[in-house]
Chains A and B, each alone.
Chain A
Amino acid sequence: MREARAKRLVIGALVALSLLILSAPTLVVLGASFTAGNIIAFPPDGLSLKWYEKVAGASDLRQAFWRSLQVALICTIVAVPVGTLAGLALAKHRVRFSNALQVYLLLPFTIPLIGSGIGLMLLFGEAGVLGSLWPVGLAACVINLPFMIWAVTASAGALDPDLELAAASCGAPPLQTFLLVTVPAVAPGIITGSLLMFILALNEFLVSLLLVDARTVTLPVQIYNSIRSIITPDLAAISVVFIACAALAILALDRLVGLDIFLKSK
């Protein structure tokens, strides 16, 4: 009995500590954003919403946030069809060089982001498209696409291999089978993947830093630029807005497909 209780205590303490460490940065930023003082500090120096007011009024931050949303949207719109088709192909068909392809898909993770960033910068620079937003979205899509493909592959791998044959025996021609059976059946994977892509593109910093200029600066880059001049609590406030966006996406994921499915990545 005593032993069991001691065990529970130790495990409980470890869990609490882990949760604290994991959430500490978020809590600190959250606290700091409500400060009434003029310097960023934790614990906050009094409570107020004035920094949120300032953020709402700051047109440069607002515009950067809007641009980040656009980048995330472009990234997701490109990633959904590309990632879905690639994921289905890898999961359902014996693609030639499938192993090599899997390794290739890992490349974006193994190559340092700064390397990919410079590569993309040279590429887009050569093409003369730097300065518009869509290359930033496209870049975010390229480096994060494996997440989308994995989400779809995991979802498709859990399906009955006879599902499409069943549709055919029900009288569905190949296109109908794809649109009415295959895609809806892997929808949990597609939704998971696209929300991931959206969040990753929204947060994407390093590659964007190399691809944006003054006209196309995104929110993470904007925050970084501000930090280099003066650190004021409005940065904490905008960070909280940022965190809220990610939380919203996770909430949507839970509502749409269920977090348990996402965590088991099925």
Chain B
Amino acid sequence: MSAAARAMAADSSAPDRAAAPVVPAVSVRDVAMVFSGQAAVADASFDLASGRFLTILGPSGSGKTTLLRMIAGFQRPTRGEIAINGRPVSAVPPHKRRVGMVFQKLALFPHMTAAENVAFPLKMRRFDAREIPARVARYLDLVHLGPYADRRIHELSGGQQQRVAIARALVFEPDLLLLDEPLAALDRKLREEMQLEFRRIQKELCITTINVTHDQREALVVSDEVIVMDRGRIQQMADPISAYREPANAFVASFIGVTNRIEGRLSDAQGDAVTLDTPFGPCAGRWGAPAGRSPRVGEAATGMLRAEQIRVAPSGEDRGGLDASVSAEIVDVIFEGERVVYEARLAGRPEATLRVFDHDPLGHAVQPVGATVRLGWNRRDLIVFPND
């Protein structure tokens, strides 16, 4: 079935289109999960439109996997309601949900061949037995495993096992595909290859997908939307570019990307243009807190500045067009080929250290340790958050 045909079929099956023109594929409302008094997930609410690829990003223990397992039906929320295509599912056991899942350790059936693994959901869901072999073959082809159909699981490589797991999760055309960090154990090259593979298949089948990961790069690469979680709470839901460029709070700013934290005190505030008094002197910045939390002159605040937004120039040679310019000493240099990573410090102030990614395409000399340099950045790149 083509992507367009699938999308149409999904549309026409949506209940009562007149009353609810857009039914989200997944709707999570005030969901909480409490384990022995500890809230693993609290007040989680979001909607995901059909056909979108969502990544839930967070450190371990942030509740992202718990949230995913509640959507899969393996755990029942303590509070709140989850709906899939408008149908509340809290009382529906996992085997009656139309949800495909790729597990962290894949959880392939070790006693079956690749093709038997893929055929299993079709048998369990009582597909027409005459239709099963062709369908299994089609999905094995989709993941480029056609020639390996009769191999046992332990005869396949790590990447091939991943592909079997994907085919098994997709073969019955679920309403929703869940990915529970299946790429975490792979080496970097294979992981990046599989990220693109997930992306390709997701677009090809136009299937609503929720991916869980702690890999911020993966979240940016594969997703239409990103949810950042920390300590059981959703910190932000946004598209990858907004999550990166417009972080909702200091946690999001520091979790995605390499970000310098500059502590200080507000000395001026005009709308969202603020001035932060820092060890580097007064720095112009942009107020990043949500609407309704306006800056107060004198309050303690934290400026977040991404490493790649800082320009380096030898001292004396100032770079034009930058809003801020400070002097610092290079204390560490890592040459990574396409970029140079500097640690630069304000003389005698170990707490005032900045990490800088220098991607200078014209390739000026790499600054040596001990050199004094000028660091510059733009006002809009220093995002200031209140400390509360």
Contact = CB atoms under 8 A, between A and B. Distances in A.
Contacts of A180: 120
Given A162-B104, A165-B74, A165-B103, A171 B125 contact: yes
A184 interface: yes
B107 A165 contact: yes
A187 B95 contact: no
A165 B169 CA distance: 12
A181 B109 contact: yes
Contacts of B121: 170-171
B255 interface: no
A171 B94 CA distance: 7
B124 interface: yes
A11 interface: no
A181 B104 CA distance: 18
Interface residues of A, number: 21
Task: Describe A's contact surface by its main secondary structure.
Answer: helix
Interface residues of B, number: 28
B168 interface: yes
A166 B169 CA distance: 9
A185 B95 contact: no
Interface in B78-137: 93-97, 99-101, 103-111, 120-121, 124-125
B312 interface: no
B111 A170 contact: no
B99 A169 contact: yes
Nearest to B93: A168
A170 B103 CA distance: 12
A173 B168 CA distance: 17
Interface in A205-239: none
B94 A168 contact: yes
Contact of B95 (A159, A160, A169): A169
A171 B97 CA distance: 8
A171 B124 contact: yes
Contacts of B124: 167, 170-173, 176
Contact of A169 (B100, B105, B108): B100
**Central interface residue in A167, A168, A184, A187, by most chain B CB within 10 Å:** A168
Contacts of B357: none
Nearest to A173: B95
Contacts of B101: 165-166, 169
Residue of B94, B95, B106, B169 with most chain A CB atoms under a 10 A cut-off: B95
A169 B110 contact: no
A196 B97 CA distance: 42
A166 B103 contact: yes
B342 interface: no
Given A165-B74, A171-B125, A172-B124, 19 more contacts: A160-B106, A162-B103, A162-B104, A163-B107, A165-B94, A166-B107, A166-B109, A167-B95, A167-B124, A168-B93, A168-B95, A169-B99, A169-B178, A170-B121, A170-B125, A170-B168, A171-B121, A173-B124, A184-B111
26 contacts: A160-B106, A160-B107, A162-B104, A162-B105, A162-B107, A163-B109, A165-B94, A165-B101, A166-B101, A166-B108, A167-B120, A168-B73, A168-B74, A168-B94, A169-B94, A169-B95, A170-B95, A170-B168, A171-B96, A171-B121, A172-B95, A172-B120, A172-B124, A173-B124, A181-B109, A184-B111
**List of 9 A-B pairs having minimum Cβ-Cβ separation, nearest first:** A166-B107, A170-B121, A171-B124, A162-B107, A171-B125, A168-B94, A184-B111, A169-B101, A172-B124
Interface of A: 159-160, 162-163, 165-174, 176-177, 180-181, 184-185, 187
